[in-house]
Amino acid sequence: MSSTAVAVLKLETGRKLEITHPIRGLPLPWRDPSTVSRTDLANYIGTLERLCEGNPGSPDVQTCLGIAYAMNCDAYKSMDALEAAVAADPLHFFAQLKLSELYFRLRALPKAEAETLRAVNLAGNSWELSLAKKQLQEIRRLTREGTQKPEWNKPLTIPVLTLIAMFAVCSVLMMVAK
């Protein structure tokens, strides 16, 4: 978001969240996700969607929208918003970190590791670096222990054809045996 633009999120409770500069810390509702009610979350998502329409190049608002979608268990919309945030500003630490965290939570560990390494390189202070390194350490631990989604990068045509041939042979043998 440009330095002149100001985005204000209004809650039903009357609190405001102003974004006047690039985010270096997490806005209030995302510090403890378990305290945000479903109605407040729906209000945040609606407000953030409107802010994204008004500021399509804002990585801060896109990152907040991605976090809100993730809290609402909508992984695809979250991924789209976080990828848009990273595309809008490839040097935005939180956009990169939250995108890598989403991949981590989806157990796409090779992709999460690559994205987290980018976040490590973007860290601007020791706190950001410790967040990214801690996540990278956990990703590598899970990779070592084998806790990841398998990557289907091999065609399954030969095993499927073999299985069909075995069924055909068994069917013929059963018909001959009667």
Identity at 154, one-letter amino acid code: K
In a domain, 166, yes or no: no
List pLDDT tens digits, range 20-46.
Answer: 555 555 455 555 667 777 888 888 888
3-state SS class at 19: strand
In a domain, 148, yes or no: yes
In a domain, 42, yes or no: yes
- The pLDDT score that the predictor gives to residue 146 is 80
Question: How many structural domains comprise the chain?
Answer: 1
* Cα separation, 5 vs 55, whole angstroms: 9
In a domain, 138, yes or no: yes
In a domain, 158, yes or no: no
In a domain, 141, yes or no: yes
Residue segments in the chain with a per-residue pLDDT below the cut of 50 = 1-18, 26
Provide the residue range defining the domain that includes 69: 7-152
List pLDDT tens digits, range 41-66.
Answer: 888 888 888 888 888 888 888 988 89
- The residue among 17, 21, 39 whose CA lies nearest residue 30 is 17
CATH, residue 92:
1.25.40.10
In a domain, 169, yes or no: no
In a domain, 167, yes or no: no
- The pLDDT score that the predictor gives to residue 8 is 43
Contacts of 139 (CB under 8 A, 6+ apart): 104, 109, 112, 113, 116
pTM, 2 dp: 0.67
